[in-house]
Chains A and B, each alone.
Chain A
Amino acid sequence: MKKKRSAGRVILYGILCLYAVITLIPFLWALSSSFKPLSEIVSGAITFIPENFTFDNYRQIFIEEELFPRWMFNSVFIATVGTGLNIIFNSMAGYALARLTFPGKKGLFIIILAVLMIPAQVTMIPNYLILREFGWLNSYQGMIVPSMINATFIFMMRQFFVNFPKELEEAAAIDGLSRIGTFFKVVLPLAKPALAAQAIFVFMGFWNDFMRPLIIMTDSSMYTLPLGLNTFKGQFVSYWNYIMAASMVFTLPVLVIYAFFNKYFIKGLSLTGGK
């Protein structure tokens, strides 16, 4: 771009770099602490590069802490299955609302929009009692089934399918595919970008959720990672090296997903961002 007012540029870069440092410091500090032995942690010395670099903290949480791998499995299982179901069900609902005619469609669409405005705290307590009645407390389905659809993404998929070219479906129908076959074999594969954006946000929602597992999971073997980390803190009040190692293990998958699907993030943001 144009070369001008280099002083202004310097200030702008100054702001950007300063904020980058402010953002990075907590993560670097956590990362570095996760590679330090406890003796170095409690010595009170402030160093970003560990003096005695060690993997022991990671070894400890994976091998000595029986429950940690289990929490990890619970988190992965709930987040993956939950995301898979969301992708299919939200798309199906969005497709029906965009393309099919059936009685009550308008009313349903209004209800879905209204649901977006109700804070989770209102349904949280009755949902607990309902899950209790179903015998689903402390279970995977208790976490997954009530969240296997998401009003935000039904709405988003509807907007997507409204603008989706009809000709492809008609061609598939002429080739003899049923409506359901068309949807799964033709429509869904073409909707991949929208599905990817949705998948990332739904996955992060499940992965980072703290409150719902806190209410639903009472048995520590059924905890997900955020809950596990929290009890971990109680158990190892001063073992910040273990806590930071566990935190890093917890954060890594999301970073990997982000690195792979970076562009869909921005797309998803502009789709959900009311633009």
Chain B
Amino acid sequence: MNRKYSRKKLQEAGQGYFFMSPTLFVLACFILGPIFYAVFLSFHNVRLLGETAYNFVGFANYERVFDDRRALIALWNTFKYVIIVVPSQTILAIILAATLNAGMKGEKFFRIVYFLPTLTSSAVLTLIFMWMYNREGLINFGLESIGLPTYDFIGDPNIALTAIMIMNIWATAPFFMVIYLAALQDIPDSLYEAAELDGAGPIRKFWSITVPHLKPITSFVVIMGIIGTFQLFDQSYIFSGGSGGPDNSTLTVVLLIYQYAFKSLDTMGYATAIAFMLAIVILVATLLQRKFSKEENLY
């Protein structure tokens, strides 16, 4: 590289910083700065009333999690939610995409219909489902009319989280379906034709050609799913009116962070510590998933 600072180079550097200036400002003020601030907060007790005061407490905020019954419940709920929702929505997305890709008429129509939940905000979806989950609502009416038992979806601690799971699988699968659809179009038809000549049926073709070819996309979809599901908040907040109830059954880690940060006094540092732990859990889950799918690719 030329070591001289020619006028042209200086000018270009100036233009570069000019073009980057809004980004630099937001990065410094609202992303990088806050990350360091968060590290600081997580080691302190923060008092907001009157003069803001910070009290250094070392690792106490991190240790506190293990004695906190609600934190353990939130973690368990979130974990259950991730383990059930991520595979379900991924499988549903693959099936929908493969079905839609089979050269059916009206593909466009189905695509538009399926995309509706992705467009709609979580707040609206949750409200619509609460209306349908009502004691005398549409879903119980449907269950009753085909002779199945009805549930108190919103008030019963044994079923409230499941109700949110069903709603979110329904709402998220079509989004991933669209991503799969793009990938399916890249699988050469000749592969299917060859398999057909060898006498493979549709199910065999799906397992031996479609699924293996979709592996990189599946990896991406699962990672996105993990990141999204670990951060569940809107739905459980609206569903439970912010409490995580009934009986902590819809309490998620992010809802707990919110409660400790903004709804109770002097626990902001603790909330930040939980947020860091959540970030680490997400990171580890993502890396594990990556490693796992890479090893599989070797075979």
Residues of chain A whose beta carbon lies under 8 Å from any beta carbon of chain B: 1, 5, 8-9, 12-13, 15-16, 19-20, 22-27, 29-30, 33, 44, 46, 85, 89-90, 92-93, 95-97, 100-103, 105, 108, 111-112, 115, 117-130, 145-146, 148-149, 154, 179-180, 183, 204, 207-208, 210-211, 214-215, 225-227, 229-230, 233-234, 240, 243-244, 247, 250-251, 254-255, 258, 262, 265-266, 269-270, 273-275
Which residues of chain B in 236-275 are interfacial with respect to chain A, using CB atoms and an 8 Å cutoff? 237-238, 241, 254, 257-258, 261-262, 268, 271-272, 275
- Nearest-CB distance from A181 to chain B (Å)? 11
The 23 listed contacts between A and B (C-beta, < 8 Å) are A12-B99, A16-B104, A20-B110, A29-B138, A96-B20, A102-B16, A117-B286, A118-B31, A122-B34, A125-B38, A128-B262, A130-B33, A149-B22, A149-B27, A210-B237, A211-B234, A240-B134, A244-B128, A244-B131, A250-B123, A251-B119, A255-B116, A266-B182
In the complex, the answer to whether A130 meets B29 with C-beta atoms within 8 Å is yes
Instruction: Enumerate chain A residues within 8 angstroms of B279, measured Cβ to Cβ.
Output: 118-119, 121-122
In the complex, the answer to whether B202 meets A8 with C-beta atoms within 8 Å is yes
Give A23 to B178 CA distance when docked, in angstroms. Answer: 15
- Nearest-CB distance from A211 to chain B (Å)? 6
Which residues of chain B in 35-85 are interfacial with respect to chain A, using CB atoms and an 8 Å cutoff? 35, 37-38, 41, 52
Give A230 to B262 CA distance when docked, in angstroms. Answer: 18
B195 in the interface (beta carbon within 8 A): no
Instruction: Enumerate chain B residues within 8 angstroms of A243, measured Cβ to Cβ.
Output: 127, 131
Instruction: Enumerate chain A residues within 8 angstroms of B209, measured Cβ to Cβ.
Output: none
A204 in complex: contacting residue of B100, B114, B119, B258, CB < 8 Å: B119
In the complex, the answer to whether B113 meets A15 with C-beta atoms within 8 Å is no
Instruction: Enumerate chain A residues within 8 angstroms of B29, measured Cβ to Cβ.
Output: 130, 146
- Who on chain A is nearest to B29 by CB? A130
In the complex, the answer to whether A27 meets B272 with C-beta atoms within 8 Å is no
In the complex, the answer to whether B275 meets A233 with C-beta atoms within 8 Å is no
B174 in the interface (beta carbon within 8 A): yes
Query: Given A126-B37, A146-B26, does the pair A121, B254 have CB atoms closer than 8 Å?
Result: yes
- Nearest-CB distance from A32 to chain B (Å)? 10
Instruction: Enumerate chain A residues within 8 angstroms of B170, measured Cβ to Cβ.
Output: 22-23
B163 in the interface (beta carbon within 8 A): no
Give A247 to B132 CA distance when docked, in angstroms. Answer: 14
In the complex, the answer to whether B41 meets A126 with C-beta atoms within 8 Å is yes
- Nearest-CB distance from A69 to chain B (Å)? 18
Instruction: Enumerate chain A residues within 8 angstroms of B289, measured Cβ to Cβ.
Output: none
Instruction: Enumerate chain A residues within 8 angstroms of B16, measured Cβ to Cβ.
Output: 96, 100-102, 105
- Who on chain B is nearest to A13 by CB? B104
Instruction: Enumerate chain A residues within 8 angstroms of B174, measured Cβ to Cβ.
Output: 23
In the complex, the answer to whether A255 meets B119 with C-beta atoms within 8 Å is yes
In the complex, the answer to whether A233 meets B127 with C-beta atoms within 8 Å is yes
Lowest 9 CB-CB distances: which A-B pairs, in order? A102-B16, A208-B121, A126-B34, A96-B19, A226-B123, A126-B37, A146-B30, A100-B16, A102-B13
Bitwise, B1-32 to A at CB < 8 A (1) or not (0) is: 00000000100111111111011101101111
Given contacts A128-B261, A211-B233, A226-B124, 6 further A-B contacts (CB under 8 A): A23-B174, A101-B12, A122-B272, A124-B275, A229-B127, A233-B238
- Nearest-CB distance from A188 to chain B (Å)? 12
In the complex, the answer to whether A247 meets B128 with C-beta atoms within 8 Å is yes
B159 in the interface (beta carbon within 8 A): no
- Who on chain B is nearest to A146 by CB? B30
- Nearest-CB distance from A30 to chain B (Å)? 5
Instruction: Enumerate chain A residues within 8 angstroms of B14, measured Cβ to Cβ.
Output: 102
Instruction: Enumerate chain B residues within 8 angstroms of A15, measured Cβ to Cβ.
Output: 95-96, 99
- Nearest-CB distance from A251 to chain B (Å)? 5
Instruction: Enumerate chain B residues within 8 angstroms of A208, measured Cβ to Cβ.
Output: 120-123
